[in-house]
Amino acid sequence: MTHEELEESVPLYAAGALDRTERQALEAHLLSGCASCHAALKDHQSVAALLPLGLSQTSPPRALKATIMAGRNPAPIPEEAAQKEPAKPSLEPGEWMNHLFPPIAPARSWSLPWAVGLATLVIVAVGGYLSWNVVTQRSEDTSNIQQLESALQDKSTTLAILQREVGEQAKALAAVRSDLQQRTNEAAEAKEQLAQREADLEEARVQLSQRSGARTGGTPQDELATLLRIPNIKAVSLTGSDVAKHAAGFLLYDARTQKVWLYSVNLPECPNGTTYQLWAIQAKPVSLGTFHMDRGDTAHLLVKKVSNFTDAKTFALSLEPSGGRPQPTGPIYLLSRS
């Protein structure tokens, strides 16, 4: 990014509108010590911090203050180094972030500032000694003064080195913090994706259940499955006769829908020109419907709506000529146990 682009991104940064990459680019630029961008940021940041004043103000609940005052344990540890050091006239590179952004985690080591503080005290002491020496002794001991001056210069150099180290440390910490922020963001993104997947899955489930719901009354298999869950359904078991010893059947009658279901297995295939016909036998047999078993068929589901079906106790399945007959004429294949 050019300097112009970076400078233009300052108001967006203050409004909180930059994405992560641009934010990091600007922060790195500010860390490099660009005074004009720094000043612009302070300007815009001040505006941003005032924005909530423009909202119509809402007081917090009265009880909140008591809760907060009661919750302040342990007491804060005053930063001694901060108190001993005079306020710095300007921001050091890297330090502006501590001011503009709330502290997130203990990110700064105070050992180096302490060292700087100590070095400062040493310099003050050496300087004081120098003055005292000059005033009291007046011996014009030039070599001694030069020695002290050289010691002072050494200390100043040490101080400069320490200050540079502090600056570097701050930069490293800023990098670590930015890295941590990036990781946090990545984790948040991953979480978001996971949540999205879960939402998709849930939606798929809902659609699936809606579809299966819509299919109720659709395919006979689904309807049969629904029927089996109705407790007061009438169920009759049929067994194979001598001509079809392995055959069996299961008949259900739903009085609400007036439907009869016959699920039969292992019936032999119908010879050409014949069909199976189901009978309900009360006073006399009443045909409930016909169906055909082809070669290779092992099971069949017959579904018929029967309005005149009432209280038949016995059911039978016979083999009849194609189209069925008003009365059973052929051999019985399945018969209910009465």
Q: Is 2 in the site for other proteins (CB under 8 A)?
A: no
DSSP annotation of 58 reads -
Q: Smallest distance from the beta carbon of 23 to other proteins, in angstroms?
A: 9
Kindly list the distances between the CA atom of residue 2 and the CA atoms of 10, 93, 205, 217, 289, in Å, as whole numbers in the listed order.
13, 20, 51, 68, 86
Q: Is 244 in the site for other proteins (CB under 8 A)?
A: no
Answer whether 38's CB lies under 8 Å from 29's CB.
no
Chosen residue from 2, 4, 58, 271 binding other proteins by CB under 8 A = 58
Q: Smallest distance from the beta carbon of 122 to other proteins, in angstroms?
A: 23
Chosen residue from 3, 35, 39, 79 binding other proteins by CB under 8 A = 79
Q: What are the backbone dihedrals phi and psi of residue 324, each rounded to the nearest 5 degrees, phi first?
A: 80, 175
Q: Strand 274-281's sheet: what is its strand order?
A: 285-291, 274-281, 314-321, 332-336, 234-240, 248-254, 259-265, 299-305
Chosen residue from 3, 32, 36, 46 binding other proteins by CB under 8 A = 46
Q: Is 4 in the site for other proteins (CB under 8 A)?
A: no
Amino acid, res. 45: Q
Cis omega (within 30 of 0) on the bond before 74?
Answer: yes
Taking only Cα atoms into account, the Rg of the chain, rounded to an integer number of angstroms, comes to: 46
Q: Is 103 in the site for other proteins (CB under 8 A)?
A: yes
Q: Is 201 in the site for other proteins (CB under 8 A)?
A: no
CB under 8 A: which stretch of 46-54, 238-246, 262-270, 297-305 binds other proteins? 46-54
Q: Smallest distance from the beta carbon of 226 to other proteins, in angstroms?
A: 33
Q: Is 204 in the site for other proteins (CB under 8 A)?
A: no
CB under 8 A: which stretch of 68-76, 236-244, 258-266, 292-300 binds other proteins? 68-76
Listed in sequence order, the residues at least 6 apart from 242 whose beta carbon sits closer than 8 Å to its beta carbon are none
Chosen residue from 2, 50, 310, 311 binding other proteins by CB under 8 A = 50
Closer residue to other proteins in complex, CB, 17/299: 17
Chosen residue from 32, 36, 39, 51 binding other proteins by CB under 8 A = 51
Count the residues in the chain.
338
Q: Is 76 in the site for other proteins (CB under 8 A)?
A: yes
Q: Is 48 in the site for other proteins (CB under 8 A)?
A: yes
Q: Is 78 in the site for other proteins (CB under 8 A)?
A: yes
Closer residue to other proteins in complex, CB, 6/247: 6
Amino acid, res. 336: S
Q: Is 172 in the site for other proteins (CB under 8 A)?
A: no
Question: Tokens in use for 334?
Answer: 């399945």
Closer residue to other proteins in complex, CB, 182/219: 182
Answer whether 238's CB lies under 8 Å from 335's CB.
yes
DSSP annotation of 137 reads I
Tell me how many residues contact other proteins (CB under 8 A).
Answer: 59
- Rounded CA separation 188/190 (Å): 5
Question: Tokens in use for 108?
Answer: 């700064």
Chosen residue from 68, 180, 204, 230 binding other proteins by CB under 8 A = 68
Assign 332 to helix, strand or coil.
strand
Q: Smallest distance from the beta carbon of 127 to other proteins, in angstroms?
A: 23
Answer whether 126's CB lies under 8 Å from 152's CB.
yes
CB under 8 A: which stretch of 15-23, 166-174, 313-321, 325-333 binds other proteins? 15-23
CA neighbours closer than 13 Å in the CB half-sphere of residue 195: 6
Kindly list the distances between the CA atom of residue 94 and the CA atoms of 90, 101, 139, 174, in Å, as whole numbers in the listed order.
12, 11, 47, 7
Which parts of this chain interact with other proteins (CB under 8 A)? 8, 11-12, 14-19, 43-61, 64-65, 67-69, 71-72, 75-79, 82-83, 86-88, 91, 98-103, 108, 188, 191-192, 195, 198-199
